[in-house]
Amino acid sequence: MPHSSTFSVDSDDADDFIDAKTLLATEGEFRCDYKYSPAVKGWFKHYVIPATWADANLRCTLQGEALQENQLTWTDSEPNNDGNNETCTTFNEYGEMADRSCDEPRPYICFRSADNKTKINECGTIDPEYELDRSTNSCYKFHTVARTFAGAHFACSAEGGYLTIINTDGEATVLDKLFAKYPDSKLLGPFSKGLASVGAYSWDEAADWRTIHGQTLEEAGYSKFRPGQPNNIGSVGEFCLAIDRDALFHDITCHGLGPFICEKKPDYPPVCSPLKNQYKYEV
């Protein structure tokens, strides 16, 4: 991967700067964990933890971006489609491309063009499906694309949130009302339409139910199960939690597909603009 460098503008000449209104209109704003480059008018994030192309693309897409598109030259002897299994591209420290297997985990870069004028909403995201509930000061999104518990956890994390954790009866009511907006007819696919995954599971597979943040359900503030639950039926076991349409817990298999609910705080991840970054950029 290419090395990055940081520079900052230091000038007393007023002509070197533009006013904040113009800056935000032309350059936009985005998550502070991305770095802005004025040279290409876009935001980058370099992920050093390797991922396959599919997982990297999913994370970038869930953040509203795409994997960086390379307009580069090929390195010597590339592309060669070694083993008839190289359908993805990488680039080296010299900016030269090579074809590689899509299943090889590698670092990757997500990119967002400043030409995209999508506004950051009150939930601190460009995703319009997150809605702020002022009684809990949290934002929630109901995902209709079914995923496993691990896949749901990944999706929420990529969006800057987490699988929702219920802390009060009031928050349970908020989720009850959110679930009601998605009747069975809006949930397409061969999975249970009456359950949505939330952020808790059995840590030792022995009914030690804890949230993904490490609290017991009682410590988190809400531990109401549907009568008869948990029941741990099936040969594979049910070690993850979901809520029904009354916001009562059910144990479910962690490997089954289903809808889920993400929660995020309005101020995380923080939002930056080139102006808020004090003109420090990654190039």
Looking at the fold, whether 95 and 215 belong to one and the same domain comes out as no
Looking at the predicted structure, is the pLDDT value of residue 26 above 90?
no
| Domain annotation covers residue 191 | yes
Q: What is the mean pLDDT of residues 174-195?
A: 96
| pLDDT 10s digits, 47-93 | 888 988 888 888 888 876 666 565 668 777 777 778 777 778 788 77
Looking at the fold, whether 56 and 159 belong to one and the same domain comes out as no
Give the type of residue at 194.
Answer: G
Assigned token pair, 197: 């995954």
Which residues on adjacent β-strands are paired with residue 44?
A: 35, 111
CATH number of 135's domain: 3.10.100.10
Q: What is the mean pLDDT of residues 165-184?
A: 98
Looking at the fold, whether 92 and 148 belong to one and the same domain comes out as no
| Domain annotation covers residue 126 | no
Rounded Cα distance, 81 and 97, in Å:
13
| Domain annotation covers residue 170 | yes
Looking at the fold, whether 196 and 217 belong to one and the same domain comes out as yes
Looking at the fold, whether 227 and 204 belong to one and the same domain comes out as yes
| Domain annotation covers residue 234 | yes
Looking at the fold, whether 115 and 135 belong to one and the same domain comes out as no
Rounded Cα distance, 230 and 239, in Å:
9
| Domain annotation covers residue 87 | yes
pLDDT of amino acid 78? 72
Looking at the fold, whether 105 and 213 belong to one and the same domain comes out as no
| Domain annotation covers residue 235 | yes
- The set of residues, in sequence order, having a beta carbon less than 8 Å from that of 214 and lying 6+ positions away, is none
Cα 230 to the center of its chain, rounded Å: 29
Q: 3-state DSSP: the chain helix, strand, coil percent, rounded to 5?
A: 20, 30, 50
Q: 179: domain range?
A: 131-264
Looking at the fold, whether 156 and 86 belong to one and the same domain comes out as no
Q: What is the mean pLDDT of residues 118-133?
A: 89
Q: How many domains does the chain have?
A: 2
- At 186, the pLDDT band (50, 70, 90 cuts) reads very high
Shortest CA distance to 164 belongs to which of 181, 132, 139? 139
Looking at the fold, whether 213 and 169 belong to one and the same domain comes out as yes
- At 21, the pLDDT band (50, 70, 90 cuts) reads very low
Q: What is the mean pLDDT of residues 97-102?
A: 84
| pLDDT 10s digits, 239-277 | 999 999 999 999 999 999 999 999 999 988 887 766 554
Q: What is the pTM of this model?
A: 0.73
Looking at the fold, whether 106 and 137 belong to one and the same domain comes out as no
- The set of residues, in sequence order, having a beta carbon less than 8 Å from that of 4 and lying 6+ positions away, is 35, 46, 282, 283
Looking at the predicted structure, is the pLDDT value of residue 185 above 80?
yes
Q: What is the mean pLDDT of residues 27-31?
A: 70
| Domain annotation covers residue 69 | yes
Looking at the fold, whether 223 and 147 belong to one and the same domain comes out as yes
| Domain annotation covers residue 1 | no
Looking at the fold, whether 98 and 145 belong to one and the same domain comes out as no
